[in-house]
Amino acid sequence: MKAIIVGTGAGGAVAARELTLNGFEVIILEAGESFKPFTRHLTWSEPLRRLGVLGSERTITKLFPALDTIRSSKDLVLVRGITTGGSTSISCGNIVRADYGLKEIGLNLNQEFDYIEELLHINTFPRERWRPVTQHLFDAAENLGLNPQSTPKSVDSIKCISCGLCELGCHTGARWDSRQFLNDAINNDAKLYTRHVVEKLIIEDGSVKGVTGKTNGKKFTFKADLVILAAGGVGTARILNNSNLNTNNHLWVDIVLTLGGVLKNAEQLKEPPMVWYTKEEDYILSPYLDILSHYFHKPWRNVSINDRVGVMVKLADEESGMVLADGNVEKNITSYDQNRLNEAISEAKNVMESGGVQGPFITGLPNGGHLGGTVPLMKEDVDYMKPSLLPDGLWVADLSLAPRSQGLPTILLTAALALRVARQIIKNHKSI
């Protein structure tokens, strides 16, 4: 049986690996190019940053095409990885179990979580390599009763050189990304095509038979017995909308807002981001020097990168965004989200002040990089792992399936959803 998989992130790569291990013929289509880490030193850009001539966040995509940004509203930027490995290639490598909204629909992914965690060899980053400011912030959070804990990561601390730029790619190979699963699939005879932008599904007699799109300005067509969309909450929705299959207006993004403070020679970049976190009901706090804010948010401009200290809020936002038929995205920070962000930022400020960080305290650029909820599973869908709006021959294997925002790292959730979908496909195939 032949399958087309669209996307190579945590969802697409896991699905490809599992299907090829079970005898499927797999074609993998990736819109971006083969991933290359951003290896330039950032010091050259500091004078330009201070003068404010770097432009908007879109500039980073020109310098680093793997990182795509979308303005979904005046105040919110969405970030996607368009490359082999998808957003895992530009991630912090955090591996946390996130399952908000799944119990309500009767979905238990513990077996999938166990399996993937075993493959990833998860650990925490050694405390003796934390920056002093990070340890002081951890102690402050602990003294405030916030119960901080070291973040589980898929990072080899021996290979890690503590450059702090995980989100621009790991050029030492210390951090796992889904290209490892992708390579497993290729070694099992999967065919990978990069720079292939899927635009539309081929639907014949009510069943999906393949995809069409463009590569280097030329049209392409691939046909198969089934198609698996794993292009993320926005990419998957765009393909479905182009194919006259309506998606849900429930886009969530896990809003990130980083509070910036100042500490002379803090050098927060000299460690991986987010080495510890605190978990509240619908958000986390974590030490994080936000590159987007540092370079493209005017209020952060007057502090050097060595002296800037950041504590991130990652919020489970309201599922209220939409991917429009023309491909644009509308997603706002609702008043409810803003109130919760304000509460979390106040808590972050308490941690920073208690940890010796000084003001002025300035919030960064609100952004979101976990894009999901546009094809959410309902209770009646769980046994089959397929939303009812999808025609025969079509599956989704990414965060689009998750009905609720998480406010947590989502690599593991994405991979677990894709694994469950792939196993359901295999089960269906064996029963034919």
Give per-residue pLDDT as tens, 281-310. 999 999 999 988 888 888 998 899 999 999
Name the pTM for this structure: 0.95
Q: Is 404 exposed, middle or buried (0-12, 13-18, 19+ CB in 10 A)?
A: buried
pLDDT score, position 61? 73
Residue 431 has pLDDT above 60, yes or no: no
pLDDT (0 to 100) of residue 46: 59
pLDDT tens column, 68-121: 999 999 999 999 999 999 999 999 999 999 999 999 999 999 999 999 999 998
Proportion of the chain above pLDDT 90, given as a percent: 87
Write out the DSSP string of 224-279. Answer: -SEEEE-SHHHHHHHHHHHTT-PPPS-BB--EEEEEEEE-TT--TTSS-S-SEEEE
Q: How far apart are CA 126 and CA 134, in angstroms?
A: 12
Q: What is the pLDDT of residue 45?
A: 58
What is the Cβ-side half-sphere exposure of residue 365, based on CA atoms within 13 angstroms? Answer: 27
For the stretch 56-68, pLDDT in tens is 666 677 777 899 9
Residue 42 reports pLDDT greater than 50: yes
The C-alpha atoms of residue 74 and residue 54 are separated, in whole angstroms, by 19
In this prediction, residue 400 carries a pLDDT of: 98
Element housing 114 (H / E): helix 110-120
CB burial class (10 A; 0-12, 13-18, 19+) of residue 123?
middle
**pLDDT score for 432:** 47
Rounded CA-CA distance 150/119 in Å is: 20
pLDDT at residue 43, as a whole number:
58
Provide mean pLDDT across the span 207-215. 98
Cα(271)–Cα(131) distance, integer angstroms: 7
Whether 49 shows a pLDDT value over 80: the answer reads no
Say whether 30 sits in a helix, a strand or coil: coil
* CA atoms lying within 13 Å on the CB side of residue 174: 24
What are the tens digits of pLDDT across the range 355-414?
999 999 999 999 999 999 999 999 999 999 999 999 999 999 999 999 999 999 999 999
Task: Assess contact for 386 and 266: CB atoms under 8 A.
Answer: no
Instruction: Band the pLDDT of 235: cuts 50, 70, 90.
Output: very high
Helix (H, G, I), strand (E, B) or coil at 296: helix
50 pLDDT higher than 80:
no
Q: What value does the CA radius of gyration of the chain take, rounded to a whole number of Å?
A: 21
Residue 407 is predicted with a pLDDT of: 97
Rounded Cα distance, 8 and 87, in Å: 9
Could you tell me the two tokens for 160?
């890690």
- Alpha-carbon distance of 78 to 366, in angstroms, equals 9
Average pLDDT taken over every residue of the chain: 94
> What are residue 166's DSSP bridge partners?
none
State the sign of the Cα–Cα–Cα–Cα dihedral 114, 11, 94, 233. Answer: negative
Residue 428 has pLDDT above 80, yes or no: yes
Between strands 149-150 and 276-279, the pairing is antiparallel
Average of per-residue pLDDT across 112-138? 97
- CB proximity list for 380: less than 8 A, separation 6 or greater: 388
Structure confidence at residue 53 as a pLDDT band (50, 70, 90): very low
